[in-house]
């Protein structure tokens, strides 16, 4: 009954919005989902950062709801974003590396929206049909249109749309343009020729394989973070231009804006820079899973609310469907976030799972993935399982006293480790059953250790 009370409350909010904004609001809400590439929330002002990286993102947060503890389903882009769009974890949808497609039999959220008249454009190369994972999602355009998002919005303001636009600038290499660079960078951050050599690699390479560079966090951390901050400010300005286009098209009051990230980024938290694909090494620490999450819809969502409850990025699409008044598919593994903004301080944390292969997009043999990582985060604890062929290792962290995940307690707390491992096994079994039902026959690591 609680879920339907939430739906009824949102329906009342829709009616109130119609009364407040007049007949024009009878047009279905648009959805604009903006994601920052490799974007850490702790480098945004609205999450407490003390540098001017995100004035437009901060303003968006002030007009909507911000979730302080949202976690991605993976640590590289495609696996994560397909999970977000389907509200399914990757062991269920099967896109665990490149050249994997969503089962064509699934009636995806995009297909459901398209049946209701929504335009769903392919805006960037991530969405091109040649990217197999995006082939059967249900876009209404057959090719990438290459239009700047502000121009596309102006040209399609009279049709309801669901647009995903990925702000790529904060991906490696970190080499921000002016004037954003000089807001954070100073040559004095380089402490010597050895550090300069390492920082030059960060500025030139989009892959920094783990253990290939011996970083020194004390010397290399400040210049790396300064360059990263310049890239964050670059995507903030681009986001602002997109939101300005909504305003110019008189769509701000009729558009649900979602701002999130595909995943986070390691910035020497564990002696590396990057995430799974750029490291050529699997990682599921929270530095690469913790993501920003902000939703804004004037007249419907509250403004200036911060939610402390732990949630998942896969909860966004169920929330979108609820706000649009559309019944969600039965297969959604996420759940609407509406109950959390009604009780922003006291709601129960949601169990958050994540998965990645060892090389992410760059698996050497996409048809035979045998080295994988899984994690579960629940009740203040986190377990990371690493499985390769018939070997398994576990790392257990008490996040209440060790948020940086530096002290493995699996030997000291075997009962807690077993309990969380059982959660992962149950989750993988459930995902496997769903994947097989959808007809995905790709080989996949077994759900329980043999």
β-strands 30-36, 255-261 pairing: parallel
Q: What is the pLDDT of residues 359-384, one digit of tens each?
A: 999 999 999 999 999 999 999 999 99
pLDDT at 129: 84
Fold designation for 28-174+221-342: Alkaline Phosphatase, subunit A (3.40.720)
pLDDT band at 446 (very low <50, low <70, confident <90, very high): very low
Residue span(s) of the chain under CATH 3.30.1120.10 come to 352-438
- Can you tell me whether residue 409 is helix, strand or coil? coil
Q: What is the pLDDT of residues 273-298, one digit of tens each?
A: 999 999 999 999 999 999 999 999 99
pLDDT over threshold 50, residue 8: no
The span from the CA of 283 to the CA of 289, in Å, is 9
pLDDT at 18: 31
pLDDT over threshold 70, residue 11: no
In contact, 273 and 215? CB cutoff 8 Å: yes
In contact, 53 and 292? CB cutoff 8 Å: no
**Greater confidence, 17 or 127?**
127
- Can you tell me whether residue 336 is helix, strand or coil? coil
pLDDT at 240: 98
Average pLDDT score over residue span 91-98: 94
Residue span(s) of the chain under CATH 3.40.720.10 come to 28-174+221-342
State percent of the chain over pLDDT 70: 91
pLDDT over threshold 80, residue 20: no
- Can you tell me whether residue 227 is helix, strand or coil? helix
pLDDT over threshold 70, residue 59: yes
Return the structure tokens found at 117.
Answer: 């008249």
Among 116, 127, 44, 124, smallest CA distance to 85 is for 127
Average pLDDT score over residue span 324-350: 91
State percent of the chain over pLDDT 90: 82
**Greater confidence, 345 or 18?**
345
pLDDT at 130: 84
pLDDT at 191: 94
CATH code that applies to domain 352-438? 3.30.1120.10
pLDDT band at 430 (very low <50, low <70, confident <90, very high): very high
The span from the CA of 207 to the CA of 213, in Å, is 11
pLDDT band at 442 (very low <50, low <70, confident <90, very high): low
What is the overall mean pLDDT for the chain? 91
Q: What is the pLDDT of residues 227-256, one digit of tens each?
A: 999 999 999 999 999 999 999 999 999 999
Whole-prediction pTM: 0.92
């Amino acid at each position: 009954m609680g879920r339907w009370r939430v739906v009824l409350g949102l329906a009342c909010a829709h009616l109130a919005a119609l009364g407040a904004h007049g007949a024009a609001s009878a047009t279905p809400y648009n959805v604009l989902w903006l994601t920052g590439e490799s974007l850490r929330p702790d480098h945004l002002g609205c999450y407490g950062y003390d540098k001017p990286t995100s004035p437009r993102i901060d303003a968006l947060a002030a007009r909507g709801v911000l979730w302080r503890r949202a976690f991605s389903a993976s640590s590289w882009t495609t696996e994560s974003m397909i999970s977000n769009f389907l509200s399914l974890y990757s062991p269920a949808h099967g896109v665990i590396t490149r050249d994997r497609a969503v089962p064509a039999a699934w009636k995806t959220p995009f297909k459901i929206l398209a049946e209701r008249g929504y335009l769903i454009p392919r805006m960037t190369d991530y969405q091109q049909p040649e990217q197999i994972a995006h082939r059967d999602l249900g876009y209404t355009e057959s090719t990438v249109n290459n239009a700047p998002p502000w121009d596309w919005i102006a040209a399609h303001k009279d049709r309801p749309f669901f647009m995903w636009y990925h702000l790529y600038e904060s991906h490696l290499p970190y080499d921000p343009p002016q004037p954003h660079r000089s807001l954070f960078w100073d040559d004095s951050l380089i402490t010597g020729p050895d550090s300069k050599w390492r920082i030059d690699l960060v500025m030139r390479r989009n892959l920094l394989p783990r253990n290939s560079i011996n970083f020194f966090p004390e010397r290399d951390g400040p210049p790396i973070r300064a360059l990263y901050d310049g890239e964050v400010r670059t995507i903030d300005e681009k986001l602002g231009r997109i939101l300005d286009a909504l305003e110019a098209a008189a769509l701000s009051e009729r558009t649900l804006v979602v701002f999130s990230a595909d995943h986070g980024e390691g910035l020497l938290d564990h002696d590396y820079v990057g995430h799974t694909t750029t490291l050529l090494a699997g990682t599921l620490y929270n530095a690469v899973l913790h993501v920003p999450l902000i939703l804004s819809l004037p007249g419907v969502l509250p403004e200036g609310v911060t939610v402390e409850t732990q949630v998942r990025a896969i909860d966004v699409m169920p929330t979108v469907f609820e706000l649009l008044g559309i019944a969600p598919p039965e297969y959604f593994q996420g759940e609407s976030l509406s109950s959390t903004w009604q009780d922003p301080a006291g709601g129960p944390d949601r169990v958050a799972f994540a998965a990645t292969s060892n090389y992410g997009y760059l698996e050497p043999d996409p048809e035979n993935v045998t080295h994988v990582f899984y994690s579960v985060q629940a009740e203040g604890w986190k377990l990371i399982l690493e499985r390769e062929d018939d070997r398994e290792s576990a790392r257990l962290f008490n996040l209440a006293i060790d948020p940086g995940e530096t002290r493995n307690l699996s030997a000291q707390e075997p009962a807690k480790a077993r309990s969380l491992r059982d959660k992962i096994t149950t989750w993988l079994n459930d995902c496997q059953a769903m994947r097989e039902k959808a007809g995905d026959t790709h080989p996949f690591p077994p759900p329980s250790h043999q």
